A and B are shown apart, each in its own frame.
Chain A
């Protein structure tokens, strides 16, 4: 019994989204009223079960849990947001929207409501509206790097690369040591045509995360591209290679990338290895 509670607490801690596991762990607890043994944590468990239930589509269970929570916390904003979520889950977006707007009118600073509103708009595909709300949210809470990340993704769905790059820069400023963010930024720069910047960022990825295959692919692609652009007299309008390194350095980088990629594929099975080697030779 207690180990289930511990596992549930761990899942809460790591904020993983594992609805099936949570429901499986929680089912015996709910049936035998073992949840009361958790003491004050019981309400957290109920909230967790609620979210997993609507994730899995078990609306009846979610409703039951919601009633329990409402009885205990009749005027809670946190519970109100759960009402909004269940409305979203059964397909009543307008009711959900009303609930969130009410919460925001009552308290402008309620982060839960703002975020749920944005998520609601996104899930219904109103990208323009979502972006507007998210930008308004970020105007106030500009140190929420996850929100910046979300905004960057939204811009990418609309192929707005400069805006997406701006958001990634904000993320990088707040989390400079995370190689994945540099990777995103590198790939956005590459897609935009800022090859010099892309090269530097890919190099940063490879510095932060040894033998990062995606990083090395990026280096090879960009180095080759820069070489091609320099060779051809007529340049692509969007390409920026002013800050790119000398040809000698480019060659060395390309060589290093090839080498590390070959080493990386050494452990792979034969078809993978062959395909990679053929591509690398080209």
Chain B
């Protein structure tokens, strides 16, 4: 019969033994496991694959096209046209492609490329290192520390959270503020990031959240990362991009702008008077 008018806090006394034997151990274990994971990842990460010089050339040629498309307003029209012609014909000919001869073939199956295998294996290993400890700890907590409440949250939550945070304790009336040890695990997961950056320095592999986002995006990215970049198509696209760029020289009305800057006139918008 707890009506809505009632606003008394539910007061419960928790055995201090709970604090000693559950609260601290969970935190300590999580910190230790995080550090352990970090060190293990460092040991296991192989050397990043050495890029082939032709790959670099390919990639940078594309960047060159991008820079031209972006910053063309800073150079005069003649220079821009010159470069545009050169790059477009180069892209057309496949000048910058890794295998000029294989220009028209379909992209090579990624699986067959041994170098890429290593990269993928490395990525997968990292994922494993992330997921396995988390699952283990969660299971361990569920097994040992279920069936009792651990702490009281200082802020109120909606009733929906009751199921997640009080798993294992079926009471209809208990405030959502009282939570079980699993929720303490989640709190630690998010909170220990700061502690890890203090201990392990900025880039550390003990980040629980990073693993969760990685897991989420893995599904979406799974299909995409399988294809190697088809540079021929990219070059063609860049060539089309460049051919439709409308060159507007930034310095066309610079005289007006300088006069305005030094207070000789207020802004004149049309470029009628040169």
Contacts and interface: CB of A to CB of B under 8 A. Distances in A.
Interface stretch (A1-9, A11-19, A83-91, A196-204): A196-204
A224 interface: no
Nearest to A253: B255
A141 B56 contact: yes
B273 interface: yes
Interface residues of B, number: 30
Interface in A65-124: 107-109
Contacts of B56: 109, 140-141
Given A174-B71, A206-B258, A256-B259, A107 B251 contact: no
A108 B57 CA distance: 12
Contacts of B251: 200-201, 203-204
A173 B75 contact: yes
Interface in A194-235: 197, 200-201, 203-204, 206-207, 210
B262 A256 contact: yes
Contacts of B50: 107, 109
B79 A169 contact: yes
A28 interface: no
A143 B63 contact: yes
B274 A249 contact: yes
Given A172-B74, A173-B68, A173-B75, A252 B262 contact: no
Contacts of A174: 67, 71
A107 B224 CA distance: 30
Interface in A230-282: 245-246, 249, 252-253, 256, 260
A256 B258 contact: yes
B53 interface: yes
Contact of B60 (A142, A176, A256): A142
A109 B255 CA distance: 45
Nearest to B66: A143
Given A172-B74, A172-B75, A252-B264, A207 B57 contact: no
A207 B254 contact: yes
A166 interface: yes
A173 B79 CA distance: 11
Contacts of B53: 108-109, 140
Contact of B67 (A173, A197, A204): A173
Interface in B35-64: 50-53, 56-57, 60-61, 63-64
Contacts of B64: 142-143
B175 to A, nearest CB: 51
A197 B76 contact: yes
Contact of B259 (A107, A143, A201, A252): A252
A176 B26 CA distance: 55
A173 B258 contact: no
Most chain A CB neighbours (cut-off 10 Å) among B50, B60, B74, B79: B74
Contacts of A60: none
A139 interface: yes
A39 to B, nearest CB: 13
Contacts of A107: 50
A206 B258 CA distance: 7
Interface string B242-274: 000000001100110111011010000000011
Contacts of A197: 76
Nearest to A189: B76
A245 B272 CA distance: 11
Given A109-B50, A173-B71, A203 B60 contact: no
A186 B209 CA distance: 53
Contacts of A207: 254, 257-258, 261
Interface in B60-91: 60-61, 63-64, 67-68, 71-72, 74-76, 79
Contacts of A108: 53
Given A169-B79, A253-B255, A143 B60 contact: yes
Given A107-B50, A142-B61, A203-B254, A246 B274 contact: yes
A108 B56 CA distance: 11
Given A109-B50, A173-B67, A249-B274, A139 B74 contact: no
A54 B76 CA distance: 44
Contacts of A172: 71, 74-75
Contacts of B250: 204
19 contacts: A109-B51, A140-B53, A141-B60, A142-B61, A143-B60, A166-B79, A169-B79, A172-B74, A173-B67, A200-B254, A201-B251, A203-B255, A204-B251, A206-B261, A207-B254, A207-B257, A249-B273, A252-B259, A256-B258
Given A173-B67, A173-B74, A253-B258, 6 more contacts: A107-B50, A140-B60, A143-B63, A246-B273, A246-B274, A256-B258
Interface of B: 50-53, 56-57, 60-61, 63-64, 67-68, 71-72, 74-76, 79, 250-251, 254-255, 257-259, 261-262, 264, 273-274
CB-based closest 4 A-B pairs: A108-B53, A200-B251, A173-B71, A176-B74
